[in-house]
Amino acid sequence: MTKYFGTDGIRGIANKDLTPELAFEVGRAGAFILTHGEKGKILIGKDTRASGDMLEASLIAGITSMGLDVIRLGVIPTPAVAYLTRKYKAVAGIVISASHNPGEYNGIKFFNKDGLKLDDNIEEKIEKILNKEKEVDFRPTGNDVGKVYREKNGAKDYKEFLKKSINIDLKGIKVAMDCGNGALYKIGPEIIKELNGEVICVNKNPDGMNINKDCGSTNHKVIQELVKKENAHIGLSFDGDADRIIAVDENGDLIDGDHILAICATHLKRNGKLKNNTVVGTVMTNIGLDIYLEELGINIVKTTVGDRYILQEMLKNDFVLGGEQSGHILFLEHNTTGDGMATGLHLLEVLIESKKPLSSLRDLMKSYPQILINAKVDNKNKYNYLEDDIIKEEIEKIEDKFHGNGRVVIRPSGTEPLVRVMIEGENQDEITGIAKNLAMVIENRLSK
């Protein structure tokens, strides 16, 4: 059975791995599993990739062939689709995006009627249809075929939702912004201006292929340099679909997802809004956040990597704040997925209310040295690292060497032929050398 869904939907090189034929079948299968033949509407949003139109057309054909209407939102961030699916009472929402990946990639991810990413068992049901293990013999005709509509107010409704989630006036605040030539390229600067702030924005001219290219949240040097050049109070940098953010303080120093969690957890606790006194992180969360939260008397619960798993934990135990070091931050009181722009606005809210420079908020938490290296492997072997005795032996040697003062985290990429090697310890040079060596061992063992 082919595995189509990774940690964040279906993803691959557009028109090679993710073909229009596959997108058509995904549209049919997804529509059937999520609605079981009932009438309704499905929203579709996309980022700025050139292949988005092609995949959207195929998805629309598949969905309407199942008798459902499609509401086209156009270019819009992933978290907007999650919100608008609920607001417009759709049966599902679909985002066409490959997030932080290069422009030649694209992806398809679903939200259910509640704006939640699909459970694994729902994805498995869709995959059974894609693998021809289950047939969908349902083809309405005549007026029962689905129709296609364009929603012109989607971006406006999302902006109003964001502005209502905070209570700030940005007069006198200068914001530097890197839109990554992605889905937030219009909405991001507009919101700052509508809140009376000054915004200096770069990478806001998408051409279909420059999304994430030497810019955005995975290329933070751009925003660091922009903040220092423009003497901005804060820098905000987004990935292609704007569900993640990396921030920068007034000195150009990086504020990753762990630091954002520390800042926002402190603020929420001080205002009596940190429900059940708990933050949700992942196995990749820096140990420095654990130590800081413990000092504040705040609990931290950790999940596997992926904002969907963070969300599941938050829903299960009624928590309101969670996120990843990579910048997926969830404020469950407001939305059901990571939201880069919402996170940036919450940071601005803390900045204004605290009357402190962002650098002092960044220093609440001390990060321990950490290194993440990608080992390139054969895609079919990337989950086999725990079955290889030589790799296991190498990991055990490293853990013995640390004596509890460091840790090793190995994680296959959900979307690429990579195994991610994360080492955390007290000495940066030492852990870098260890991580490079372990990545080399994994490449040698799993690249064939």
* Active-site residue set: 99
Rg (CA), the chain: 22
